[in-house]
Structure 1
Amino acid sequence: MVKEFIISKTLAVATAVMTISALGGIITMTIIYQMQITKNRPTPPPTPLPTEPIPTGPPPNLRLPRNLVPDTYTIFLRPHLYTEVTNETNQSFVFTGNSTVTFLCLDRTNRIFLHSKDLNVTNPVLRRLNDSAVLKVKSIFNYPNETNFLEVELDDRLEPNGSYSLFTEFEGELLNDLAGFYTSQYEVEKDNETRYLAATQMQATDARKVFPCFDEPDMKAVFRLTLIHRDGTTALANWPQEASSGTGIVIDGERWIVTEFKPTKKMSTYLLAFAVSDFEHTDSKPGLERDIKVWARAEAINAGHADYAHSITQKILEFYEKEFGLEYPVGKLDQIALPDHAAGAMENWGLITYRESALLFVDGVSSSMNKEFIATAIAHELAHQWFGNLVTMKWWNELWLNEGFATFMSYQGVKYAEPTWDTEDLFVVNEVHNAFQVDALASSHPLSSSEEEIQTLTEINELFDSITYSKGAAVLRMLSQHIGQSDFKEGIKMYLKALQYTNADQNDLWTHLQQVVNPDNPEEIKGFMSTWTNQSGYPVVIVNTNNGEITQEQFLLNGTWNQEVLWHVPMSAMAKGDHTLLKGFLLKTAGPVVKTEMKSMDWILVNFNCTGYYRVNYNLENWHRLINQLEIDHEAIPTISRGQLIDDAFNLARGKYVDVTLALDTTKYLRNETQYIPWDAALKNMEYFILMFDRSEVYGPMQAYLKRQIEPLYIHFENYTDNSTAPESHTAQYAQLEAVSMACEVGFKNCTNMAKEKFEQWRESFKNSTNPYKIHPNLKSSIYCHAIAAGGVEEWEFAWEKYLDSTIATERDKLRYGLSCTKHIWLLNRYLQYTLDYTKIRRMDTVSTINYIASNVAGQALAWDFVRAQWKYFSDEYGGEIMFLGSLIDGISERFSTEYELQQLKQFQREHTEDSLNSASRALEQAIERTEANMKWVEENKATVRDWFRRESKSP
Structure 2
Amino acid sequence: MGKGFFISKTLTIAGVIVGAGAVATIIALSVVYSQEKAKNQEVKPTNGGTSPPTTTQVTPWDPWDHYRLPDSLSPVSYNITLWPRLEASRSTGLYIFTGRSAVVFECKKPTDLILIHSNKLNLTLINGHHARLTGLDGATPPNIKDSWLQPVTQFLVIQLDGRLQAGNRYELYSDFTGELADDLGGFYRSEYFVGEIKKVVATTQMQPTHARKAFPCFDEPAMKAVFHMTLLHPHGTVALANGMNVASVNVTVDGQDVTQTSFQATPIMSTYLLAFVVSEFDFIRSPEGEKVLIRIWARKQAIEEGQGDYALEKTGPILEFFEKYYTTDYPLNKSDQIALPDFSAGAMENWGLITYRETALLFNNASSSNADKEWIATVISHELAHMWFGNLVTMRWWNDLWLNEGFATYVSYLGANSAEPTWNYTDLIVMKEVYKVMSVDALASSHPLSTKEQDIMQPAQISELFDSITYSKGAAILRMLSEFLTEPVFARGLSTYLNTFKYGNTVYQDLWNHLQTAANLAPDLELPASIEVIMNRWILQMGFPLVSIDTTNGHITQNHFLLDPESVVDRPSEFQYEWIVPIKWIKSGTEQTPFWLKSKTDTHPPLKMIGSDWVLANTKVSGFFRVNYDTANWERLLTQLSTNHEVIPVINRAQIVDDAFNLARAKTVSTKLALRTTLYLQKEREYMPWEMADRNLGYFFLMFDRSEVYGPMRAYLRKQVMPLFNHFQAITANWTKIPDNHLDQYTQVRAISLACSSGVPVCEALMTSWFQAWMKTPEKNPIHPNLRQTVYCGALAAGGVEEWNFAWKMYKEAPIASEAEKLMYGLTCTREPWLIQRYLTYCLDPEKIRKQDATFTMVYIAGNVVGQSLVWDFVRANWNYIYNDYGSGSFSFGRLIEGITRRFSSEFELKQLQQFIKENSDQGLGSASQAVEQALERTKANIKWVAENKADVFQWFTDNSKLI
TM-score, normalised via structure 1 length? 0.91
Q: Counterpart amino acid of 2:655? A: Q
Residue 578 of structure 1: CA displacement? 1.6
**1:536 aligns to 2:542 (yes or no):** yes
- Work out whether residues 546 and 559 of structure 2, in 8 Å CA contact, stay in contact via their aligned partners in 1: yes
Which residue number in structure 1 is paired with residue 839 of structure 2?
831
Q: SS where residue 83 of structure 2 aligns?
A: strand
Select 1:548's aligned residue among 542, 551, 554.
Answer: 554
Q: Which residue of 2 aligns with 1:676?
A: 687
2:771 aligned residue (747, 754, 759) = 759
Indicate yes or no: 2:753 matched with 1:741.
yes
The change in CA–CA distance for 1:661 and 1:365 in structure 2 (over 3 A counts) is same
Q: 2:202 aligns with which of 177, 198, 205?
A: 198
Moved more, 73-82 or 267-276: 73-82
Write out aligned runs for 1:865-884 (5 A): 865-881=873-889, 884=892
CA shift digits 1:595-615 (9 cap, x unpaired): 333444311001111100000
The 5 A counterparts of 1:634-783 are 634-719=645-730, 720=732, 722-766=734-778, 771-783=779-791
Quick check: 1:217 aligned with 2:228?
no
Aligned 8 A contact 1:545 1:619 in 2: yes
Letter of the 2:238 partner, please give it.
T
Query: How much does 1:284 deviate?
Result: 2.7
Q: CA contact under 8 A between 1:610 and 1:641: conserved in structure 2? A: yes
The runs of 4+ residues in structure 1 deviating greater than 4 Å are 88-92, 519-523
1:136 correspondence with 2:150: no
Indicate which of 191, 194, 202 corresponds to 1:185: 191
Quote how far apart the aligned CAs of 1:879 are: 2.8
Deviation at 1:722, TM superposition (A): 4.0
The letter for the 2-side match of 1:150 is L
What CA distance in whole angstroms lies between the structure 2 residues aligned with 1:592 and 1:493?
Answer: 36
Q: Which is worse superposed, 246-255 or 714-723?
A: 714-723
2:409 corresponds to: 407
Moved more, 540-549 or 771-780: 771-780
- Partners of 1:462 and 1:883 within 8 A in 2: no
| Aligned counterparts of 2:430 and 2:576: Cα–Cα separation in 1 | 28
Q: What is the Cα deviation at residue 577 of structure 1?
A: 3.6
Matched, 1:499 2:507: no
Q: Give the Å deviation of 1:134.
A: 5.4
1:449 corresponds to 2:451: yes
Q: Which residue of 2 aligns with 1:804?
A: 812
Alignment partner, residue 253 of structure 1: 255
Q: 2-side partners of 1:214 and 1:829: how far apart?
A: 45
1:163 counterpart (142, 166, 169): 169
Q: Return closer, same or farther for 1:339/1:929 CA change in 2, 3 Å cut-off.
A: same
Instruction: Note the 1:56-71 alignment, pairs <5 A.
Output: 57-59=62-64, 61-71=66-76
Which of 793, 799, 803 is matched with 2:801 structurally?
Answer: 793
1:826-885 deviations in Å (ceiling 9; x for gaps): 000010000011010000000000111110000000000000011111111233328701
CA distance in 2, matches of 1:899, 1:649: 27
- Once the 2 structures are TM-superposed, how far is the Cα of residue 90 of structure 1 from its aligned partner? 9.5
Distance 2:610 2:891 in 1: 47
Q: Match for residue 291 of structure 2?
A: 289
Say whether the 8 Å CA contact 1:872–1:916 is kept in structure 2. Answer: no
Letter in 2 for 1:568: I
TM-score (norm 2): 0.90
Match of 1:223, SS state, is strand
Matched-pair contact (CA < 8 Å) for 1:724–1:776: no
Quote the Cα distance in structure 1 between the aligned partners of 2:733 and 2:386: 38
**Quick one: distance in 1 between partners of 2:599 and 2:886?**
45
Q: For 2:242 and 2:231, how far apart are their aligned partners in 1?
A: 12
Alpha-carbon distance, 1:683 to partner: 0.5
Structure 1 residues 742 and 522 mapped into 2: Cα distance closer, same or farther (>3 Å)?
Answer: closer
Q: Deviations over 1:422-478 (max 9, x none)?
A: 111111111111110100001101000111111111111111111101100001110
Describe the superposition over 1:872-910 as per-residue Cα deviations: whole angstroms up to 9, x where unpaired.
111112333287011000000010000100111111111
Q: Give 2:491's aligned amino acid.
A: K
Q: Could you tell me which amino acid in structure 2 is paired with residue 950 of structure 1? A: T
Report SS of the residue matched to 1:705.
helix
Shift of 1:121: 1.6
| Structure 1 portions without partners, runs of 5+ | 1-54
Whether 2:581 is the aligned partner of 1:569: answer: yes
- What is the alpha-carbon distance in structure 1 between the residues aligned to residue 578 and residue 177 of structure 2? 53
The corresponding residue for 1:300 is: 302
Q: Which amino acid aligns with 2:676?
A: D
Query: Within 5 Å, which residues of 2 pair with 1:344-493?
Result: 344-493=346-495
Letter in 1 for 2:578: L
Relative distance call for 1:579 and 1:883 in structure 2 (3 A) is: farther
Alignment of 1:93-172 (within 5 A): 93-122=95-124, 123=126, 124-131=131-138, 133=140, 135-145=142-152, 147-172=153-178
Does the CA-based 8 Å contact 2:442-2:561 persist in structure 1? yes
Distance 2:815 2:91 in 1: 26
Contact between 1:117 and 1:148, CA under 8 Å: does it hold in 2? yes
Is the 8 Å Cα contact of residues 719 and 963 (structure 2) preserved in structure 1? no
* Paired residue type of 1:329: P
CA distance in 1 between partners of 2:519 and 2:608 (Å): 28
The CA deviation at 1:955 is: 5.1
**Corresponding residue number in structure 2 for 1:900:** 908
List per-residue Cα deviations over 1:382-402 (Å, max 9, x = no partner): 001011101111110010111
Secondary structure at 1:658's aligned position in 2? coil
CA offsets 1:686-737 (integer angstroms, 9 cap, x no match): 0000000000000100000000001111111114384443100000011111
What's the RMSD between the two structures over aligned residues?
1.8
Counterpart of 2:585 in 1: which secondary structure?
strand
Cα-to-partner distance string for 1:255-294 (whole Å, 9 max, x where unaligned): 1111111111110000000000010001331221121100
* Residue in 1 that maps onto 2:78: 73
Q: Distance in 2 between matches of 1:389 and 1:594?
A: 44
How far is 1:200 from its partner? 0.2
Q: Secondary structure at the match of 2:350?
A: coil
Cα distance in 1 between the residues matched to 2:85 and 2:781: 45
What fraction of aligned residue pairs are identical, expressed as a percent? 50
Correspondence for 1:208 among 209, 212, 223: 212
- Whether the 8 Å contact between 1:75 and 1:99 is mirrored in structure 2 is yes
Say whether the 8 Å CA contact 1:458–1:880 is kept in structure 2.
Answer: no
Q: Which amino acid aligns with 2:148?
A: F
Tell me how far 1:59 sits from its aligned partner.
4.6
How big is the shift at 1:483?
A: 1.2
Give the CA deviation at 1:131.
1.9
Shift of 1:107: 1.5
Q: C-alpha offsets along residues 396-420 of structure 1, whole Å, 9 cap, x if unaligned?
A: 0010111001100110111111111
Secondary structure of 2:285's partner?
coil
Pick aligned residue for 1:176 from 172, 182, 199: 182
Alignment of 1:238 onto 2:238: no
* 1:226 Cα offset (Å): 0.7
AA aligned opposite 2:642: E
